[in-house]
């Protein structure tokens, strides 16, 4: 009993750090949504899109760096959550933390793609003639890849939160309502992003997803994990 209490006390600083990381991820996610530039990967409008990106270059830059920082934090979050939660044979925890790391890696590639797009946009504003044709072509490919990476990240992010929700519900290491919140938010996030990001259901799911992160992070930061033996 004494050893268990010492172990719990020893994990509290890490739980607080984990909660803070989750809250920062939620803040960066909201900031990235607000600074996102909606550009469709269409060949006929790529020149207009490049001009639009050039006119909003600072916003594109901010968005790219926000996503890059968030990607690093998400990659770190996977193993940290695995350490913070008490030892468990629940496969959902193993799979969930793995999918969190996968999400972070996808967002890292997404951010790197964003840095490439920044360079193409900068050069597009300076060049003339045939050079702009090549830059428009490279930019179009970059935007297409960017869209596919974004959809993949929606899926892995949704699956990871769905799995972590299952673990919370089964283990009761956190309040069960947080687990259900995370589960439903992740499920909607993973499915409906492929239909339309403007879909009301997806927007609702994204809101639930962000709120679940805030609840999850706040509880870890303020209260910590319950050391209850899983049922």
Higher per-residue confidence, 73 vs 45: 73
The per-residue pLDDT for range 107-164, each reduced to its tens digit, is 999 999 999 989 888 888 877 777 777 888 888 888 888 888 988 888 898 888 888 8
Provide the CA 176 distance to its chain's centre, in angstroms.
Answer: 23
pTM: 0.83
Q: Provide the pLDDT for residue 44.
A: 66
Contact indicator for 116, 149 with CB cutoff of 8 Å: no
The per-residue pLDDT for range 166-178, each reduced to its tens digit, is 888 887 878 888 8
Q: Provide the pLDDT for residue 8.
A: 45
Q: Provide the pLDDT for residue 102.
A: 93
Q: Provide the pLDDT for residue 106.
A: 95
Per-residue pLDDT at 227 exceeds 60: no
Per-residue pLDDT at 228 exceeds 60: no
Contact indicator for 28, 62 with CB cutoff of 8 Å: no
**Domain ranges within the chain, ordered by starting residue:** 2-222
Q: Provide the pLDDT for residue 122.
A: 87
Beta carbons within 8 Å of 109's beta carbon, 6+ residues apart: 149
Q: Provide the pLDDT for residue 124.
A: 81
* pLDDT level of residue 9 (50, 70, 90 thresholds): very low
Got the DSSP string for 1-56?
A: -HHHHHHHHHHHHHHHHHHHHHHHHHHHHHHHHHH-------GGGHHHHHHHHHHT
How many angstroms separate the CA atoms of 113 and 85, rounded?
34
Contact indicator for 170, 231 with CB cutoff of 8 Å: yes
């Amino acid at each position: 009993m004494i050893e268990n209490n010492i172990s719990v006390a020893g994990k509290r600083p890490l739980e607080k750090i984990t909660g803070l990381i989750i809250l920062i991820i939620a803040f960066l996610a909201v900031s990235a949504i607000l600074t996102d530039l909606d550009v469709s990967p269409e060949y006929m409008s790529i020149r207009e899109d490049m001009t639009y990106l050039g006119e909003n270059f600072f916003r594109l830059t901010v968005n790219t760096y926000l996503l890059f920082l968030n990607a690093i934090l998400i990659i770190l979050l996977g193993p940290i959550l695995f350490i913070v939660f008490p030892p468990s044979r629940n496969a959902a925890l193993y799979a969930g933390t793995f999918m969190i790391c996968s999400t972070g890696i996808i967002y890292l590639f997404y951010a790197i793609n964003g840095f490439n797009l920044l360079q193409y946009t900068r050069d597009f504003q300076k060049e003339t003639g045939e050079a702009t044709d090549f830059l428009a072509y490279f930019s179009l490919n970059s935007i297409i890849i960017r869209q596919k990476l974004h959809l993949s990240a929606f899926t892995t992010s949704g699956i990871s939160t769905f799995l972590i929700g299952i673990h919370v519900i089964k283990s009761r290491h956190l309040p069960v309502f947080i687990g259900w919140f995370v589960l439903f938010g992740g499920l909607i996030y993973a499915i409906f992003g492929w239909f339309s990001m403007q879909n009301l259901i997806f927007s609702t799911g994204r809101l639930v997803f962000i709120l679940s992160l805030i609840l999850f992070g706040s509880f870890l930061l303020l209260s910590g994990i319950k050391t209850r033996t899983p049922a």
